[in-house]
Structures are given as C-alpha cells and as structure tokens.
Amino acid sequence: MGNTIACCVSPERSPKLPRQLADRQEDYQISTNVRDDTGPYLQHISDREEPNELAQEFHPSNHARLRTIFLSKSQTDRELQDKRKSNHITHVSHTSPLSKKYSSCSTIFIDDSTVSQPNLKSTIKCVTLAIYYHIKNRDSDRSLDIFDEKMHPLSREQVPGDYSRTDPEHKLIYRFVRTLFSAAQLTAECAIVTLVYLERLLTYAEMDICPCNWKRIVLGAILLASKVWDDQAVWNVDYCQILKDITVEDMNEMERQFLELLQFNINVPSSVYAKYYFDLRSLADDNSPRLPLETLGNERAQKLEAISRLCEDKYKDWSRAAVKRSFSADNLVGIRCANAVLS
C-alpha cells in the first residue's frame, strides 16, 4: 500500500493514473517547485488585492504616518513661502517686535485648544484655510454632477456665469462653514472629521475640489461627519431648514453618493484624527489664524487640570462599559468562584 501511494505521486510512475488527474498533479508540482528553499509557495493576500485598494489603504486619511494633503498644498504656495521669508528677515533684523510669543522659565504661554477638546473657532478657521489651499492649488477641475452647484443649486439665487473660474476667498469659505456649525451646534471634533472625509473623497473618487463644487462637497462632508461623530446627529431635514432652498431628496441623494464614493469607509482611527489635529496646528502657525496664546496662571492651570480629570473619568467609564459588555480571558484574574459542594 505504501509503495503504491509513493508511486502515484508522479504520473509517470503510475500507468493506471487518469490523464486529468495526471495534469492536476503536474500543475501541483509546478506550483510547489516555485520556491524550493521555503517549501510550498502560498500567495500572500496583498498579492491578490487590487492596486487601487492598496493605494487607498496608504492614503493620509487612512494612515497615520503619511503627510496630510492640505499641509503639502499649503507649503507649496508661493505667497506662504514669501511670507516666511519676510518673517525671517524681520526676525533677524529686529526692526519690529515679534508677533509670536515664546515661553520662558518664569512665563508659560498656552492656548485652550487640546487634541481632546479643540477650540471651535480656531479649528473652523484652520479647516476652512485647508479647504482654501485645496481649491487654490488644485491640479485640475475634475468634478461630478452631484456636487455641481449649477446643476444642484443650494439657493434660488442665480449662479454667476464665471462661478467655475473664480476661486472663493478664505472669508467666504469660513462664513459658509461657520453658519452650518453654529446653526447645527456642531463640535470642533466634527470639523476635523469633516476634513478627513473631504480628503478621502478627493482621493477615492479621483476628483478635485474647485469653485463649482466646493460648497456641496463641504456640505456632504459635514453632514456625514455630524452623523458619525456626534451622539445626537442632525437630520437631513434640519439642514434644509438652515439652507432654505435645498430639498430633502437632494440631501439624501448627495449623502448616498458621498458614501458610495467613500466605499462606505467612514472609520477615522484616533491616530489619524490626532495627525490631522496637529497638522492643523502647524497650518495655523504658518498663517495668520494663529491659536490665541495666554499666560498660564493659577485659574487656567486649575481649568486644564479639571478638563484632564473629566477626560480621565470619561475614559474610565468607557473602559468599564466595555468590560461589562464582553469579558475576555485577561479579565478573569480577579474573579472568585464559589466552592462546589459535593453530596
């Protein structure tokens, strides 16, 4: 029996082996002889994935170590480079007082924005500035009909003829976003997630944010971020009350296509969120909307300590709730069991 099995491994040694089975054995031998040093060759799962899926996985909105797109676009701007050069010359020549405050041993300057509780006004300014650089330094004018403001207007006012050629100013973008956040009572964290979804959309859909579509893209990103991030989400009909001339059907269709273009990838890891937060701070340091700095006194120190305690208590409550929902083997150490009584 053993000799018969050993003989059947090779089709040449077994004259009674069927031809189809012999072909299968030859294919198996070819696949196993690809790498003799490591044994049978097994294709890695990454080799079977599509190139587009691999490219999207290593996108800044999904990967924490990659640089954000808005920061790269802002640093390639010529006006910003000229401004940096002039600030450097001013700093060296000491012709004017320094506009940036620096901490010393006796005085500490600190702002009230943290990664867990960002300042709302400063965050909206930085996010809208990032959108401004996206529009200004775009590569082309690729767009989709669902985001075209002329085909789907947000108001009854007539869209200007040159609406697709005139870049909006930063003040106009800030006023539009601030109105939505104030009316819907959204948080600063929602603004950061909005920017993550916006950059993810531009990459997944291979499109650009330009003068003809920036309002609807920003509106769709805010709509989705408010539903994912906030516990009490704003309904689409509520946005119709803010923007009086838009219909609920239009909002629903835009949200549906936005999700499909994102491939329903609405997950924002904490590492990606923190990266976007600190890149927005870097953007604020390089531009005029710098975060307001104040001297750290006793009152502000107590306030920061209270915020830290509040966050620690919140995380403890979350961890306790997670332990109650599901017990793992790691949590069985401190559990006592009653002794069994055998009759």
Whether 336 shows a pLDDT value over 90: the answer reads no
Dihedral angle sign, alpha carbons of residues 225, 226, 230, 231 = negative
Please tell me which of 74-83, 148-157, 221-230 the model is most confident about, judged by mean pLDDT: 221-230
CA distance 315 to 326: 17
Contact 141, 164 (CB under 8 A): yes
- The three-point CA angle 199-203-206 to 5° equals 130
DSSP run (H or E) holding 67: none
Q: What is the DSSP letter of 295?
A: E
Greater confidence (337 vs 250) lies with: 250
Q: Is the pLDDT of residue 208 over 90?
A: yes
Chain length of the chain: 343
| Mean pLDDT of all residues in 332-337 | 48
**What was the pLDDT predicted at 264?**
94
**What is the 3-state composition of the chain as percent helix, strand, coil, each rounded to the nearest 5?**
55, 0, 40
C-alpha atoms less than 13 angstroms from C-alpha of 300 in its C-beta half-sphere: 11
Structure-model confidence comparison of residues 343 and 275, the more confident one: 275
Q: How confident is the model at residue 130 (pLDDT cuts 50, 70, 90)?
A: very high
Closest residue by Cα to residue 60 from 278, 233, 322: 278
Q: What is the 3-state secondary structure (H, E, C) of 275-294?
A: HHHHHHHHHHHHCCCCCCCE
Q: Which residue has the higher pLDDT, 38 or 242?
A: 242
Looking at residue 285, its amino acid is D
Q: Which residues contact 150 (CB under 8 A, 6 or more apart)?
A: 159, 163, 164, 212
Indicate the average pLDDT of the chain. Answer: 75
pLDDT at 104 over 80: no
Report the predicted TM-score, pTM, of the whole model to 2 decimal places: 0.67
The region that residue 263 occupies, defined by phi over 0 for left and psi between -120 and 50 for alpha, beta otherwise, is left
Say what the pLDDT of residue 66 is: 85
DSSP assignment letter at 146: G
Q: Which of 63-67, 68-72, 189-193, 198-202 has the lowest mean pLDDT?
A: 63-67
